[in-house]
Amino acid sequence: METRRRLVTLALLLTVVGAPAAVAGAETVQSGDVRVSFKADFAPKALPRERPAPIAIDFEGRISTTDGTHPPALHQLRVELNSAGEIETEGLPKCPTSALQATSSDLALARCRPALVGKGTFVAQLPVERDLLVGGRALVFNGTVGRRPGMLIHIYVSDPIRLTLVIPIKVTHQDGRFATVLTTKVPRLAGGSASIVSMKLKIGRRFTAGGERRSYLSAACTAPEGFPGAVFPFARSSFSFSDGRTMHTVLSRSCRVRK
């Protein structure tokens, strides 16, 4: 009965979240037998030319192997976003990392809902029972990482084991085309034996601070004067794994000028 229950749970999980395979519309790269599919997009597509307007960003990534073996664990992730976008955290509540440790999704929300800036789903692969897949909700909170603004991704597994993982995302800035930088060292999951193979997040939040309406994420469509829109490099990413290999992707997207 227990085996049947897990199989039913896994079938539902794969239906809702999707099996670890290529992501439609994503950039897919491969190194040896490891394949990474990464997708990032934003909405709305129509934005002012000169001033930033509120947006939300969808991220989706999947890790798989060509021969079906257990993939290496993701060790480091770096995502650089186009300089036309910005992150605003002034006046937005922050959630401390300590409030999320050893908590379920419901308890994390009860403690830190005012700091919530995104949510989604994830799938992790455990090297037991012929690589068991487990998954659940992913929540993203505004927080502090290394004394700098950041995001805290909270993931929680309740079956077949109870497991909480908090992934700290540091937000920094640099000069150049890709100005906003998101970086993390992914904590070890299940003692380093498990691998996150799929994650899908939608990040965006409007809030009021100082009597003004603000947006956690904003962007402009910086098309040249006289052009109705533009195609531009939107995100550049780097995935580093526990076995030493690193892969890179660059995503281009388009926007329309809104008057």
In this prediction, residue 131 carries a pLDDT of: 64
Identify residue 72 by its one-letter amino acid code: P
In which element (H, E) is residue 4 found?
A: helix 2-17
Q: What is the pLDDT of residues 205-250, one digit of tens each?
A: 999 998 999 999 999 999 999 899 999 999 999 999 988 999 999 9
CA-only gyration radius of the chain, Å: 19
* CATH 1.10.260.40 is right for the domain spanning 2-257: no
Nearest partner of 150 among 186, 190, 193, 97, judged by Cα: 97
In this prediction, residue 192 carries a pLDDT of: 62
Helix, coil or strand: residue 29: strand
In this prediction, residue 193 carries a pLDDT of: 64
In which element (H, E) is residue 15 found?
A: helix 2-17
CA angle 167, 203, 21 (to 5 degrees): 70
Rounded CA separation 21/202 (Å): 19
In this prediction, residue 129 carries a pLDDT of: 58
Measure CA 118 to chain center: 9
Phi then psi for 98, rounded to 5 degrees? -60, -25
In this prediction, residue 180 carries a pLDDT of: 94
CA angle 77, 79, 85 (to 5 degrees): 155
In this prediction, residue 246 carries a pLDDT of: 96
Q: What is the DSSP letter of 110?
A: H
Low-confidence ranges of the chain (pLDDT < 70): 1-25, 127-131, 189-193
Q: Which two tokens stand for residue 193?
A: 């034996």
In this prediction, residue 19 carries a pLDDT of: 40
Q: Which two tokens stand for residue 14?
A: 């794969």
In this prediction, residue 114 carries a pLDDT of: 97
In this prediction, residue 130 carries a pLDDT of: 57
Mark 46-64 as b/e (b = at least 16 C-beta within 10 Å): ebebeebebbbbbbbbbbb
